[in-house]
Structure 1
């Protein structure tokens, strides 16, 4: 057997192995977009240290960055919560929280600038108060991958 013939037979063998695959289905002309996996935090999702006051719950997916109690002065203590918002932009988060507070009898102030974000103070006629600052991911960088907004809550704790 000559070298040429040996090379040709080897190539035919290699090519025939590649032809054993099932034919791919015909393309319909419409390409499917690849499915994206849901965003996952870079680190394990952290839960709130304890439930929110008055039975409130956040109406969106989030990752807790900070949850602590701080004494502001002799008359005021606050529960301070900072979350990265997953799967919702800052505008929809603000609408959801405003509706949630309104259902519970809280009225929001006109937004004011606070550290590059928009701060709204929600007050109840009985004196309860929650300060909320909203940032888009461009205004304040979230730590959770895929997060679209950052929200800070300052829940006044009655003395």
Structure 2
């Protein structure tokens, strides 16, 4: 029990826990949520200011790094949980045809890049895996295959400018 108290007093442990929480949230974002800079900046400023004000009043500023690390994890986990709960009750809407930026066929990506269809949705570039049909079309049309692929997303927007990609629809002309 004494070792646990010693470990919890170390700053490195709290930073590690904050980074682990941030990694979990980033992992969730990678496949689930896109959020704007407005939400990121506004929530982060609130975390920094409220933590500082409360600890300044209590004369406990030496705990600032611990509190900010834990607050980041809690606030962002709550934000993502609210987004997830709200999006479950929303019906998604289908986007118009999204422009395909470029196509990398299976097996030709090389060591540092992988195959996929690169598209842009709401200003963010995304990658979708290639399919057997798209690779067959690439053999026929070559690089102009991007003119024959139609990509649509089913989006859910729980907040303005915060959206989930619920599913991807790929059809071929």
State the TM-score bracket (shorter-chain normalisation).
under 0.3
Calculate the TM-score normalised by the size of structure 2.
0.24
Bigger Rg over Cα:
1
Bigger helix share: 2
Bigger strand share: 1
Calculate the TM-score normalised by the size of structure 1.
0.25
